Amino acid sequence: MRIDIITVLPELLKSPFEHSIMKRAQAKGLLEVQTHNLRKWAINSQGQIDDYQYGGGAGMVMMCEPLTNAIEELSKERKYDEIIFLTPDGETFTQKTANSLSLKENLMMICGHYKGIDERIREHFVT
């Protein structure tokens, strides 16, 4: 199984995958985890990946363009069985969900940051 994780802070995610069960699974060749810094696909030289919410409101959201570019570029390398947006308002992660996902070959996970992501990403990419 391969898991690609798109995040603003890839350094924070490396440690959990370098220890315990995850480390053993990777050592046996059962799991491959790749973190991708969303700023690689930023729209300007400052690395901007966030913008104000359409229609106003407090907080920033992750922009559509960088996420779209990241998803499309990674999808050229392999077909993803699931593209998952990790968010508190999503489906609860249960053992049943874990069992179902464990049967997949390629997963992409988008780590939310700021107040959320552009809704177009959910509509067009998130499974």
Cβ of 5: how many Cβ atoms within 10 Å? Answer: 19
Summarize pLDDT for 84-110 with one digit per residue, the tens: 999 888 889 999 999 999 999 999 999
- Domains defined for the chain, CATH in brackets: 2-124 (3.40.1280.10)
In angstroms, the Cα distances linking 56 to 26, 34, 53, 88 are 44, 34, 5, 21
51 has a pLDDT exceeding 90: no
Measured distance CA(32)–CA(28) in Å, rounded:
10
57 has a pLDDT exceeding 80: no
Residue with tokens 């990403």: 121
Q: How confident is the model at residue 124 (pLDDT cuts 50, 70, 90)?
A: very high
pLDDT at residue number 119 = 83
